[in-house]
Chain A
Amino acid sequence: MPKDGEIKSGIGASSKRREDVRFLTGNGNYTDDINIRGQAYVFFLRSDVAHGTLNSVDTSAASAMPGVVQIFTGADFEAVGGIPCGWEVTDKHGQPMQEPKHPVLAHGKVRHVGEPIAAVVADSLEQARDAAEAIEVDISELPAVINMKDAFKEGATKVHDDLTSNLCYDWGFVEENKGAVEEAFKNAHHVTTLELVNNRLVANPMEPRVAIGDYARSDEQHTLYTTSQNPHVIRLLMGAFVLGIPEHKLRVVAPDVGGGFGTKIFHYQEEAFCTFAAKACNRPVKWTSSRSEAFMSDAHGRDHVTTIQLALDKDNNFTALRTDTLANMGAYLSTFASSVPTWLHGTLMAGNYKTPLIYVNVKAMFTNTVPVDAYRGAGRPEATYQIERVIDMAARELGADPVALRRQNYVTEFPYATPVAVEYDTGDYHATMDKLEEIADFTGFEARRKESEAKGKWRGLGINNYIEACGIAPSNLVGQLGARAGLYDAATVRVNATGSISVMVGAHSHGQGHETAFPQVVADMIGIDESQIDIVHGDTSKIPFGMGTYGSRSLAVCGSAMVRATEKIIAKAKKIAAHLLEASDTDIELKDGMFSVAGTDKSVAWGDVTLAAYVPHNYPLEEIEPGLEETAFYDPSNFTYPAGAYACEVEVDPDTGKVTIERFAAADDFGNVINPMIVSGQVHGGIAQGVGQALLEGCSYDEESGQLLTGSYMDYAMPRADDLPFYSVDHSCQTPCTHNPLGVKGCGEAGAIGSPPSVVNAVIDALNSGGKKVAHIDMPLTPDRVWNAINNA
């Protein structure tokens, strides 16, 4: 393959991110930048107790306060639907999950700190806050259920009185394999058992959530401006399930969005509220989340407690794997919460290995905490962390080389049908590990370890593989699995008369660089300059009904739709060219923006053909329509399976327990790469978040009171630039996806999925090199935790 920088434009070029011009010069147009004449502001009065009976909400005094337009409580929303869950999981007995109503404003009970109880709409935000303080709320506090193990106990306080217990579902996968897995464990030569926690995280995109509802009485048209990764999904969920607004009367706009990381996929109460209140008050209603509100109202991520066991035979072949996981749902089911610990997690438990027998049990629990849903990687980081930690532990127990143990068990033949219901289309795990050994300089490690020891530090090397399922997803498959939405995507390619092109896409860019990368593909196909092409996204009134951006799906799914639409454009343009050149369209070739008749010097330029399409004076109107605009919908036939190998080198300060990352290397196989620079940037950011999870970030609740202990940046540690080393990232190992037209696999989540195990493996390696027989430490590996592990070893 060509080296980075060799390709100057089109597919494979590291074109500079054109959207950064506006982002870096303060000219972005974020939701909070939108102000509509006459808008009012809403302040949500949120519960400060984790669990309680809501006896009364008295708004009479508050309603008389200056500037108050209207105050809403749960009673105002009794007639509308609850916030829906988009995925119904069926439990191991064939029963549907327990699905509580998720009210827009709390009604009857409050179930987590931060749940909105009342909403004050006023002329100014300060007036709304003043009035909110005058609302008298009478709550009888109930015991809070925070710890999942407590929630599961017989007789535990119930988060939802109308459910039979706190268990959302008890999922077994693959249930039919369970007996065979148990048998394999009985016959195992060695079994490694590991209990671990996948720590709860708060996504913390730089831009907090914002929603503005607007309503035009004249034509009954609702508009919601919102910080969303998928405006059509919000329109569908909110219009059809919550507020009962026909889709043609509801426009959802997600303009520039400052980071999503999953937490802006979901439909939130505040969006429904602003849309509802704009009509009720006949005024635009705006809500801007504070960072404090974000901590207690944005869906959190991860939060699994797992026991994993790996069985090996006498030759160190993996023979079986089984897991028991408690997965926290929080107080309500967020949009895709139920799918994360099941279909996005259980199906990845084979990892990169040919383990023949696997059984995964997941018990999803309701607790009095903020709802938990997808966060960068969503289920796949949880799977990868378990697999790669238990393999490392097995290697240590057996005295095996951790790289050799992995290599020995790699899947090497493709397509490969795993025992957990997915089929890997392609991959080469030895190739990425070979590349990793090179770029991470494994051979120089011992010398570096000695240098560290000379400074009184312990050095460790941790490695891991990962695989993920991206390009979400084949609609018919996910429909069978309980998804309540299709997961295709769509693109419209609109060629203008002078040859420039607008591409309307269902994908949404909130940091991914679509405005740069997508035009590279179309430019390459037609042979014109990238600057001739613009991407339009984020407004349901402008784009086709696509499903948005998450699960590293944009290029693999929406990009494929764009390719299909562009193919239609080219086919039609060739017919027009054939007419102009008085030739047969089967003889027309398109190269570098010129149509020519094969074997002749007759040609016509792209711009002349597009002009003819819109000024059809000399045009075969009886055969083809004028104009040049095509739409394609693309539904993938399989997931894509990016995979790779990561290495982390750490130094541990034995006196303080402080871990510093000295080196980090990532060798990824993303299939074909459209813009290598953007791909590297995606991996860089993903690793930062993975390192954040491994060393710094941990969302914590007081288990008695249910108060959020990490409710601000004073206590919730985000990774900063100086927590991270310069990375060595490589994506030259490319086994193109076999089933989408671009051969791409997706790169958005890999860094966050692939990095936590290597960090933890490295720290465990360092401690053992220092003579401390530490088998495991739960993330985040704070200095306090590492020091305790050293001291107790």
Chain B
Amino acid sequence: MYNFEFEKPSSIADAVAALGGDEAQALGGGQTLIPTLKQRLASPTTLVSLSNIPEMQGICTGDDGALCIGGATTHGAVASGAGAYPGLAALAGHIGDPAVRNRGTIGGSLANNDPSACYPAAALASGATLVTNTREIASDDYFVGMFETALEEGEIVTEVRFPIPQASHYEKFVQPASRFALVGVMVAKFADGVRVAITGASEEGVFRWAEAETALSVNFSPDALDGLTLDADNMIGDLHGSKEYRAHLCGVIAKRAVAKAA
């Protein structure tokens, strides 16, 4: 790890100001950033911790009924506190291990947008809104590609607003070593239709499966996905699974997610 300055502001405004410095880097739970620093693969001048900002903490219900989760809320807090959205609470409760869940944050995960992370699937399938210090971004506009988002330099995710679906489930098929998602599928059934988001599989990061959404919006049952396939070309192919295997798994895991959705 290289030397860096450390700041721990107590308001969003102070955090944004600190992040305006040269080579400043926001630190959420540090579950990706700290190992990166330890390997000397990043060398920020200043680390700005977001863990001491009360207005970025906690879970509440918005006027529109959406579940609002502060950007610095840990996975563990979501797992135990997001009972109003059981599919989301269950997803959070299966990220990493207890140590990860007690440090990692929802804002950190969504800002990093690891192609195998769980939260991007939840945000995209829910049609969540990502609130930052400057604006609100619809999840459909937020995820740009592998480790890429619509966030500008110095912009931080302060809150995520999740519309609560009638039924939902996140099904994860884990990569055996990291236990990140080899393929993870979130299905969310709303009054106006079904959304399906898949993580772990694509070289372009989390994506929505339009054909599956159409089929499930007509008939929300696993059978509705019979015969639907995804093109293997854009899938990740690596030690843990070929492109074809991941494309196949998307269908299998999507069906299981639908079957378990409640």
Contact = CB atoms under 8 A, between A and B. Distances in A.
B173 interface: yes
B240 A782 contact: yes
B209 interface: no
Contacts of B3: 126
B37 to A, nearest CB: 12
A79 interface: no
A696 B176 contact: yes
B245 interface: yes
Which of B1, B173, B176, B242 has most chain A Cβ within 10 Å? B176
Interface of B: 1, 3, 39-40, 173, 176-178, 182, 239-242, 245, 248-249, 252-253
Interface of A: 126, 129, 133, 292, 655-658, 695-696, 698, 700, 709-710, 713-718, 782-784, 787-788
A700 B245 contact: no
Contacts of B240: 715, 782, 784
A698 B177 CA distance: 10
Given A655-B252, A715-B239, A787-B248, A782 B178 contact: no
Given A784-B241, A784-B242, A715 B177 contact: yes
A715 B245 contact: no
Nearest to B40: A129
Given A126-B1, A696-B176, A788 B249 contact: no
Contacts of B1: 126
Which of A133, A655, A700, A710 has most chain B Cβ within 10 Å? A655
Given A695-B176, A783-B241, A784-B241, 7 more contacts: A133-B40, A658-B173, A710-B177, A710-B239, A715-B177, A782-B176, A783-B245
Contacts of A133: 40
Nearest to B179: A720
Contact of B245 (A709, A714, A788): A788
Contacts of B241: 782-784
B96 to A, nearest CB: 12
13 contacts: A129-B40, A656-B173, A656-B249, A658-B173, A696-B177, A700-B239, A713-B177, A715-B239, A717-B176, A782-B241, A784-B240, A784-B241, A784-B245
A657 B249 CA distance: 10
Contacts of B177: 696, 710, 713-718
Contacts of B245: 657, 783-784, 787-788
A351 to B, nearest CB: 30
A655 B239 CA distance: 19
A695 B240 CA distance: 12
A292 B39 contact: yes
The 5 closest A-B CB pairs, nearest first, are: A717-B177, A717-B176, A784-B241, A714-B178, A655-B252
Which of A657, A658, A696, A783 has most chain B Cβ within 10 Å? A783
A656 B252 contact: yes
B9 to A, nearest CB: 27
Nearest to A698: B239
A709 B3 CA distance: 29
Is chain A's interface secondary structure helix, strand, loop, or mixed overall? Answer: loop
Nearest to A720: B179
Nearest to B3: A126
B178 A715 contact: yes
Given A655-B252, A713-B178, A788 B242 contact: yes
Nearest to B246: A784
Contacts of A710: 177, 239
A138 B102 CA distance: 45
Contacts of A714: 177-178
Contacts of B239: 698, 700, 709-710, 715
Which of B3, B177, B245, B252 has most chain A Cβ within 10 Å? B177
Contacts of A709: 239
A254 B173 CA distance: 42
Contacts of A129: 40
Contacts of A718: 177
B208 to A, nearest CB: 22
Contacts of A658: 173
Nearest to A126: B1
Which of B40, B245, B248, B252 has most chain A Cβ within 10 Å? B245
A700 B39 CA distance: 21
Nearest to A787: B245
A294 to B, nearest CB: 14
Contacts of B249: 656
Nearest to B252: A655
B71 to A, nearest CB: 25
A700 B40 CA distance: 24
Contacts of B252: 655-656
A749 to B, nearest CB: 24
Contacts of A713: 177-178
A713 B96 CA distance: 13
A784 B175 CA distance: 10
B209 to A, nearest CB: 17
Contacts of B39: 292
A716 B176 CA distance: 8
Nearest to B242: A784
Contacts of A292: 39
Contacts of B178: 713-715
A709 B238 CA distance: 10
B185 to A, nearest CB: 13
Contacts of A655: 252
B151 to A, nearest CB: 24
A658 B178 CA distance: 16
Contacts of A784: 240-242, 245
A696 B241 CA distance: 13
Contacts of A717: 176-177
Contacts of B182: 783
A779 to B, nearest CB: 13
B31 to A, nearest CB: 12
